[in-house]
Amino acid sequence: MREKLVVIGNGMAGMRTVEELLKIAPEKYDITVFGAEPYGNYNRIMLSPVLTGEKTVEEIMINDLDWYKENNITLYAGEDKKAVDIDRRNQKVIAADGTEAEYDRLLLATGSNPFIIPLPGHDLDGVIAFRDIADVETMLQASKEKKHAIVIGGGLLGLEAANGLMKQGMEVTVVHNLDVLMNRQLDEPSAKLLEQSLVERGLSFKMNANTSELKADENGHVKSIAFSDGEELPADLVVMAVGIRPNIELAQKVGLHCERGIVVNDTLQTFDPKIYAIGECIQHREELFGLVAPIWDQAKVAANHLAAYGIGIYRTQATSTKLKVTGIDLFSAGDFTGDDETDDIVFQDPKRGIYKKVVLKEDKIIGSVMYGDTIDGSWYFQLMKDGTNVADFRDSLLFGQAHMGDSGHAGVNAAADLPDSAEICGCNGVCKGDIVKAITEENLYTLDEVRASTKASASCGSCTGLVEQVIASTLGGDYTPSESEKTICACTNYGHDQVRDAIKPNNLKSFHAVSDFLEFSNPDGCHVCRPAINYYLLAAWPGEYEDDMASRFTNERMHANIQKDNTYTVVPRMFGGVTTAKDLRVIADAADKYDVPMVKVTGGQRIDLVGVKKEDLIPMWKDLNDAGMVSGHAYGKALRTVKTCIGSQYCRFGTQDSTGAGIRIEEMTWGSWTPAKFKIAVSGCPRNCAEATIKDVGIVAVDSGWEIYVAGNGGIKVRVSDFLVKVATEDEVLEYTGAFMQMYREQGHHNERTAPWIERVGLQYIKDEIVENAEKRKAYYEGFLLSQKFSQKDPWKERASEGVAQNDFIPLAEV
């Protein structure tokens, strides 16, 4: 027998919760929805494009009436079906026309009402708000017959309304009571640029205005607006867009505790435990809501509790704002006014109409305002939410993320200006047009949804930033780039750090222990979380946790890289890139014996046997093992190679024995598992022939010792490494290298290379831990050496000679 859920409010918040609920507990409830508007559920934030004519009402429908039928939801829609009472004792909802519905759980999603200033004349015909489809229809009608429009309120919504009315051919004046437009999102310089550009487009402004009265014509229709300074402007239509108030009328009437909004706890429950509330009608920890991003988060939490899973609490995240006026780029987030304890970094180019301001407090971003060039808005926003220390790049911060180095997109970073045919995701061949189409046709809002639908950024992830830009420019308004801590995957609501932090204190020692403890929605997880958690367990319990092969990607299971034709590549380790004539003969013999189609030198100074058949792997390894060679781990999230130059042994410029040092480092680090692949190089002089400054750890020899660099990357995103420290001896090089690797092993997210890791946590933090603090450095180093005791086993030998899981390489049967 299903329980009964009633939802009051057929808006975005309520239906999003229902959608989330249907995803996780489709059989739990019979659902009834009451809505005062006679439609299905539509995307209210897209009303502005409807007003400008860029979209139609049909295009902004999220769920049409058929959707309710398909999901067996009873919908009571229309003015006479408005819920007017709740009988809390008998648990039923009563509508205006007497329709009743009983509930076991009730969800209030009554939204908000536009605030109407109680001016003389505020109730005249032709005075409206900008809130729903009916308002938009009134405006569109007025624009056909009338000329003069007044918009009261120079905030986000007011400017969007004014822009829309102007596009429909009206003469529009925006009346604002301050001299800064969008004063909740902009500071004075950026607001002036915005005002200027809107004036150029044809809008008029009356700033610092004090409205005294709306005057009527003989039919009781508004005809003009009068100000306290004596000025009077003609007005055929007045739109009030001065803010919203939570709609708490019904909640108050039935005795639910309300303050400014309906008060809810962290699980979105009201003071009546059977009644939940969500969206613009609620007040959570003193805060009210008006943007879509936090409401999506609320929907997830509310659905989880309605489904009786009982996990997840709601916490407000920072939000950002953009203006949905085509051609105007504006971004604002956080605290952008600052105070005595903050620093403003400002870039101004009035001629090009560009203004950027980032506000720092103790070297962390706490807010930003941008006008004219907003490409880096989402980057600043992410740095702000991550609390990243930006001290090391604050001198180039305002030049943007592109300045930090980026390759593979032909230098293109501004998705908004790209044509539909531009390829965004090179791995999966997804063009901008495909993404835009998916977003608008399937009503996608988040990166995850776009990824699932289009595969864009689902493989290597290098285009994630571009994809986010496409989503932002398509959705406009209220898109929030990504949550501050991303969840590992759809199996769980927890992020990497949360999962990791749960492992040791709770003594979790297998994937299923983790997935049970954290109540994963799929007990077996998926191809994303299983390898991640397998790695975290391996790092947490060295010597104790048994590596789970079923959770390893095939390359790490086969100790070889899978190729597009399902053959593999075999790479023997060459310590420091040094080989011998004897080893080369053995490799050549193996290439002949197993008919290897290609022999190639790798970028890491080794030899790659390409195109080996799976069943030849074991015998080939045996041959190489017998000649003294071991696996090069060219396939793993592990230490790959230590690349070296010739160094002082032979080179006339060499200052130190870089080859010898490289061999020692590789002997110490080989076999270690890391969150993502890890590359090291050692150069014997500052000419840097080993290209050490684009490696995860790069060592550059100088006359007086060794310079150590970290977090370089030569791959998807080129990043020159940061200088960590200079040391005198090879032993110190080993200690710092081991300590840095261990810190990354313990704290990096699975699949996150050192470059994004260091940009997330900040170089200063690394320095504090392993340069400034000798004790911690030694502890990390010892931790590394301990875990190496258990991981320096040649996987080839284990499988070729010791009989470990040889089955994997041979068919179960031939029939």
Binding flags for another protein, 715-754, as an x/- string (CB under 8 A): ----------------------------------------
Among 41, 453, 644, 669, binds another protein (CB under 8 A): 453
* CA-derived radius of gyration, the chain: 31
Instruction: Work out whether 452 is an interface residue with another protein (CB under 8 A).
Output: yes
Stretch 264-283 residues interacting with another protein (CB under 8 A): none
334 in helix, strand or coil?
A: strand
Q: With respect to another protein, which residue has the nearer C-beta, 209 or 447?
A: 447
Among 459, 506, 704, 773, binds another protein (CB under 8 A): 459
Q: With respect to another protein, which residue has the nearer C-beta, 549 or 786?
A: 549
Residue 514 · residue 502 · CB < 8 Å: yes
The stretch among 15-23, 277-285, 360-368, 526-534 that binds another protein (CB under 8 A) is 526-534
Among 95, 390, 458, 470, binds another protein (CB under 8 A): 458
| 312: CB partners within 8 A, 6+ apart | 267, 300, 301, 304, 305, 493
Q: With respect to another protein, which residue has the nearer C-beta, 84 or 716?
A: 716
The single residue listed with the structure tokens 């193996």 is: 590
First to last CA, the chain: 50
Among 72, 326, 522, 773, binds another protein (CB under 8 A): 522
Is residue 685 annotated as involved in ligand binding?
Answer: yes
Residue 374 · residue 333 · CB < 8 Å: no
Q: With respect to another protein, which residue has the nearer C-beta, 729 or 806?
A: 806
CA dist 127 and 238 (Å) reads 5
Closest CB 814 distance from another protein, rounded Å:
4
- HEC per residue, 412-455: CCCHHHCCCCCEEECCCCEEHHHHHHHHHHHCCCCHHHHHHHHC
Is residue 281 annotated as involved in ligand binding?
Answer: no
The single residue listed with the structure tokens 């070729």 is: 800
Closest CB 638 distance from another protein, rounded Å:
18
Q: With respect to another protein, which residue has the nearer C-beta, 193 or 560?
A: 560
Q: With respect to another protein, which residue has the nearer C-beta, 442 or 595?
A: 442
Q: With respect to another protein, which residue has the nearer C-beta, 290 or 611?
A: 611
CA dist 169 and 166 (Å) reads 5
Strand partners, 358: 345, 368
| 221: CB partners within 8 A, 6+ apart | 124, 125, 126
Closest CB 511 distance from another protein, rounded Å:
9
Q: With respect to another protein, which residue has the nearer C-beta, 57 or 526?
A: 526
| 228: CB partners within 8 A, 6+ apart | 210, 211, 212
Closest CB 646 distance from another protein, rounded Å:
39
Q: H or E stretch including 251?
A: helix 249-253
Instruction: Work out whether 467 is an interface residue with another protein (CB under 8 A).
Output: no
Binding flags for another protein, 419-448, as an x/- string (CB under 8 A): --------xx--------------------
Residue 136 · residue 129 · CB < 8 Å: no
Instruction: Work out whether 72 is an interface residue with another protein (CB under 8 A).
Output: no
Is residue 425 annotated as involved in ligand binding?
Answer: no
Torsion of CA 570, 576, 578, 582, to 10 degrees: -50
Token couple for 5: 């859920």
Closest CB 499 distance from another protein, rounded Å:
16
Among 35, 525, 577, 675, binds another protein (CB under 8 A): 525
Closest CB 566 distance from another protein, rounded Å:
5
Q: With respect to another protein, which residue has the nearer C-beta, 541 or 553?
A: 553
Among 97, 516, 524, 595, binds another protein (CB under 8 A): 524
Strand partners, 322: 331
Instruction: Work out whether 815 is an interface residue with another protein (CB under 8 A).
Output: yes
Q: Cα angle vertex 626, ends 620, 627, to 5°?
A: 95
Instruction: Work out whether 637 is an interface residue with another protein (CB under 8 A).
Output: no
Is residue 460 annotated as involved in ligand binding?
Answer: no
| 121: CB partners within 8 A, 6+ apart | 127, 213, 214, 215, 216, 222
CA dist 656 and 701 (Å) reads 6
Torsion of CA 613, 619, 625, 629, to 10 degrees: -20
Q: With respect to another protein, which residue has the nearer C-beta, 522 or 704?
A: 522
Token couple for 549: 């092969």
Stretch 780-809 residues interacting with another protein (CB under 8 A): 805, 807-808
CA dist 34 and 47 (Å) reads 22
Write phi, then psi, for 592 (nearest 5 degrees). -65, -50
Nearest CA among 396, 393, 401 for reference residue 373: 401
What sign has the CA pseudo-torsion 276, 282, 286, 288? Answer: positive
Among 24, 84, 404, 526, binds another protein (CB under 8 A): 526
Instruction: Work out whether 812 is an interface residue with another protein (CB under 8 A).
Output: yes
Stretch 534-593 residues interacting with another protein (CB under 8 A): 549-555, 557-558, 562, 564, 566
The stretch among 302-310, 468-476, 516-524, 753-761 that binds another protein (CB under 8 A) is 516-524
CA dist 558 and 563 (Å) reads 12
Q: With respect to another protein, which residue has the nearer C-beta, 428 or 791?
A: 428
Closest CB 567 distance from another protein, rounded Å:
10
Provide the annotated binding site for siroheme: 689
Provide the annotated binding site for [4Fe-4S] cluster: 645, 651, 685, 689
Provide the annotated binding site: 645, 651, 685, 689
Site residues (vs another protein, CB under 8 A)? 427-428, 452-455, 458-459, 522-527, 530-531, 549-555, 557-558, 562, 564, 566, 805, 807-808, 811-815
